[in-house]
């Protein structure tokens, strides 16, 4: 599985820890930056990761900022992206099972490395259930295309 990952300055340290752990676990990780804790603009990194996932060059995306909220808002502007901010395992699993989320955003303010990896594993290991949920995800795509 190929994972696109990115962060802003506030999420940089946590992103680096996640990136290293995923690589150690055998994932193909594509790092879209940032490369330091110098102040930067989160939409730049959200867009880069989201476009990579939307064009299917990566299977899933991970974004880290201070709260995870800004990254989710920015990533969701890219057609084909269903980004969800996750704080609890049940939320992360449900957004995969029911919404087929393809990008997970995390808040470095509230997570340590182990907590973040717990959520990341739930995101990467949980499958979309399809069925009635597929109909709903298809409706999201129609909204995106302006066809509702």
Instruction: Please indicate whether residue 98 is annotated as part of the active site.
Output: yes
Instruction: Please indicate whether residue 9 is annotated as part of the active site.
Output: no
Specify burial of residue 61 (Cβ count, 10 A radius: 0-12, 13-18, 19+): buried
* Cβ proximity of 66 and 26 under 8 Å: no
Sheet order of strands, 60-65 included: 28-31, 2-7, 60-65, 103-107, 83-85
For residue 11, give every residue at least 6 positions away whose Cβ sits within 8 Å of its Cβ, in sequence order, or none: 63, 64, 65, 66, 71, 106, 107, 108
Catalytic residue among 9, 40, 98, 133: 98
Catalytic residue among 9, 40, 65, 133: 65
Q: Which residues are catalytic?
A: 65, 98
């Amino acid at each position: 599985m190929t994972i696109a990952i990115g962060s802003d300055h506030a999420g940089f340290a946590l992103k680096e820890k996640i990136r290293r752990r995923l690589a150690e676990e055998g994932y193909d990780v594509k790092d879209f930056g940032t490369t330091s804790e110098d102040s930067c603009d989160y939409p730049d990194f959200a867009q880069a990761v989201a476009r990579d996932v939307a064009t299917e060059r990566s299977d899933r995306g991970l974004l880290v900022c201070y709260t995870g909220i800004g990254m989710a808002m920015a990533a969701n502007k890219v057609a084909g992206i269903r980004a969800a901010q996750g704080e609890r395992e049940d939320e992360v699993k449900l957004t995969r099972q029911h919404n087929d989320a393809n990008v997970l955003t995390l808040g470095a303010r509230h997570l340590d490395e182990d907590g973040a990896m717990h959520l990341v594993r739930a995101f990467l290991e949980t499958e979309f259930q399809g069925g009635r949920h597929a109909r709903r995800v298809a409706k999201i795509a129609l909204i995106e295309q302006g066809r509702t």
